Amino acid sequence: MENTTYQQPNSRHCFVCGVQNSFGLQLKFYDNGIDKVWTQYVIPEHFQGYPGVAHGGVIAAMLDEVCSRTAMIADSDHFMMTAKLDIKYRCPVPVGHPLNITGRLTKSRDKILQAEGYIYLSEDTIAAQASVTLVDIPESTLDESKLQELGWEVISD
């Protein structure tokens, strides 16, 4: 199988991927064109909960985003919303430590998708994991003709 990497679009103001959101994470995501999404990140100190440890809400946001982006593997404009998010926090996530964050599509049918997400401290240490159920956003909620206006585009590395 060929190892191909595709960069996914970012937005301007999203908390997780908004490149102009100075209060956000500004993550860029990549996929393999089949079933996997990933990014790498070092959580800065200003996102800590207690000293030296990342806030659990930031961990949840990263897992939610990486899982929801599995819906965008075949169609980068396929937005879904989280219907259910189950997180298992396995160990504290230190700030200032390089993380590998991955999402994997596990099931897709009609307008429902399921994915799993993982935050790795090292190759064999999972710090947190999630199981997510996503559903299509109602057409009345999202006007796809305004995506470019909203800054939804691939931003070069």
What are the tokens at 13?
A: 């103001």
Please tell me the CATH superfamily of domain 6-142, with its number: Hotdog Thioesterase (3.10.129.10)
pLDDT at 82: 96
Q: Are 130 and 120 in contact (CB under 8 A)?
A: no
pLDDT of residue 1: 44
pTM of the model: 0.90
For residue 6, which phi and psi values (nearest 5 degrees)? -120, 135
Longest pairwise C-alpha distance within the chain = 44
Q: How confident is the model at residue 138 (pLDDT cuts 50, 70, 90)?
A: confident
| pLDDT (tens digit per residue) in 35-49 | 999 999 999 999 999
Beta strands in 6-154 (DSSP E): 6-7, 30-31, 36-42, 80-89, 98-109, 112-122, 125-136
Q: Rounded distance, CA 151 to CA 19, Å?
A: 9
Residue with token string 């679009």: 9
Range with lowest mean pLDDT among 59-68, 70-79, 98-107, 116-125 = 70-79
At 139 the pLDDT is: 74
H or E segment to which residue 66 belongs: helix 56-68
The residues spanned by each domain of the chain are 6-142
